[in-house]
Amino acid sequence: MGASKSAAERAARIELAGAYRLAAHYGWEYLIYNHIALRVPGESSFLVKPHSLCFSEVRASDLIKLGLDGKPATFEEDVNTAGFVIHTAILNARPDIHCTLHVHTAVGIAFAALKRELLPLNQNAMRFYKRLSYHDFEGFATELDEARTLASDLGPSNTAMVLRNHGLLTCGEGAAEAVSTMLALLLCCEAQLLVHGSGAEYELPPPAICEHSAAQNTAIRRQVAAQERAAFDRLLDRIDPSYKL
């Protein structure tokens, strides 16, 4: 990374490269496809991987910086156009969000095809009780017109969304939160698919208990956010610290 980059940008590059490596570690890599974006502090710009790189190859110095406004970047510029549209839509609409993560996993794709929404079947799923957004499929997200509906469907406070007939998307104040939310969402989606597949009757707690549990979860996550990020950092250093280069 050149000397012209600010300390804040260098830190953001390391943070985002780490998120890509974590996504690969958890099995979310899909050759060169899918994307994670991180806002550059103090700038109207964001970082994203070159389209031609796999998640597991990304280093901090590889990341491309793009403006949040203007004409979408294209494959000719080694940028996934759909990634530009999806991430700028949310980052522009939600100043509280700095990282957006979108992946296509088998579980996420399967769940996104269901008419049924995520149910509060277990303690983990309570995290998303009335806090999960849904966006109907509009074709490949390469047109700026979809940016408006993406931002509107996510809403003013949710940090996770099911892109119907497509995949899953999570957000956060930082990359660690977006990764942690995706881990939780995929776990809950898989659990619900298993419950549906069993054909057995299932139990749902009363709505008041679900809401109480969701509020508890929010409070707990605020308390453990720094510990989660530190755990991710230790994991990354054990796997391959080259992401920092």
Measured in whole angstroms, the distance separating CA 219 from the mean position of its chain's CA atoms is 20
**Which residue has tokens 């009757």?**
201
183 domain-assigned: yes
Domains in the chain, number: 1
Residue 2's pLDDT is what?
Answer: 46
1 domain-assigned: no
Ordered DSSP codes for 94-135 = -TT--EEEEE--HHHHHHHT-SSPPP--STTGGGGTT--EEE
Least confident of 2-11, 97-106, 155-164, 191-200: 2-11
Higher pLDDT, 78 or 29: 29
* Strand 64-67 relative to strand 35-39, pairing: unpaired
**Residue-wise pLDDT tens digits, 16-38:** 999 999 999 999 999 999 999 99
99 domain-assigned: yes
150 domain-assigned: yes
By percentage, how much of the chain surpasses pLDDT 90? 86
**pLDDT exceeds 60 at position 3:** no
**pLDDT exceeds 90 at position 128:** yes
97 is in which domain, residue-wise? 7-244
CATH code for the domain in which residue 107 is found? 3.40.225.10
Whole-number mean pLDDT of the chain?
Answer: 93
Average pLDDT over residues 59-71: 91
